[in-house]
Amino acid sequence: MSKKGFTAFLIVIPIAITSLISIAYVTFKSQLPNTQAVLSTPTSEVSPTPSITPSPTPSPSPTQTPTPNPTPSLSPKPSPTSSSQSSNATVTSGGNYTVLTFDLASTTIVTDSANDNDCGNDCPVKPLAQYIAENGGRAGMNGTYFCPPDYASCGGKVNSFDFAVWNNRNKKWINATTLFWGGRGMMVFRPGSAQFFPCAGCVGAPADITGGIVNYPSLVSGGQVLVSDGAKGTRSGIGFGGGKLFLVVARSSSYFDLANIFKSLGAQEALNLDGGGSVALYDGGYKVGPGRNLPNAVIIK
């Protein structure tokens, strides 16, 4: 080969190499965007992952919501069939009776009537709760027997009562002329004390008192039961003994049953009060009743 021909061959070789490199570069470059597109695809699929992060955040809040909810349900825990303290009285419900027990030394008992003077017919009446509110009391119960409007035999003497009751607002006895009728007991009250007379007609009419009520029959005196009547019904009564005052309502009970309830509580003295549909017992709310509206009532302050 001549020198001239060899020189031309050498010139062709670099040109060929350069062309091959260019073709390889162009081919590589054309494939590069496809690689970038593949890489960007997983990036967009991963991006929703952070949106899951907030979802655990609300989940603790429902856990805290039930915590305060049970708290109010604990407040009404004392049930009517259990013993509980309310307004310094012990409320006890036994099988067929309910008792309010007060410390006599720290208690003032007053009696009141809806009428300010003697009344023979269409006499005023009030619910027990109203008597208690008007006298600044905290508890109380129904008073004497009376002639309710739903009794046919009470025509012409509706809501009247034939028993003496001390009206503490006016400081006088209502129906004072009946104080000396036989077969009745009388209980009188002064601040921190009580006194019982099984025979109301055998004593005078005290006026230095805050409460006084006459009814029948006398149930217990000196710790001895005075009755043996076997008729059953809803009964109520008031008694005291051992430094305690007792207000009792008994269901399906005779006078004898009621007397023995008082005796079992430690009462030395006890007097029967009204019964049936007129029975009401209140201590921060009705424990029994309200029953009928009443012409008189016993109030605890």
* Residue-wise pLDDT tens digits, 194-222: 999 999 999 988 999 999 999 999 999 99
The two three-digit tokens of residue 157, written as one number? 């003497």
Task: For residue range 67-120, list pLDDT tens digits in order.
Answer: 333 333 332 233 333 333 345 666 665 569 999 999 999 999 999 999 999 999
229: confidence class by pLDDT, cuts 50, 70, 90: confident
Rg of the chain over CA atoms, in angstroms?
A: 47
Burial of 253 (C-beta count, 10 Å sphere; 0-12/13-18/19+) = buried
Degrees to nearest 5, angle at CA 112 with 106 and 116: 150
Mean pLDDT of 138-143: 99
Instruction: Report the run of H or E that residue 102 belongs to, with start and end.
Output: strand 97-103
Residue 230's pLDDT band (cuts 50, 70, 90): confident
pLDDT score at 265: 97
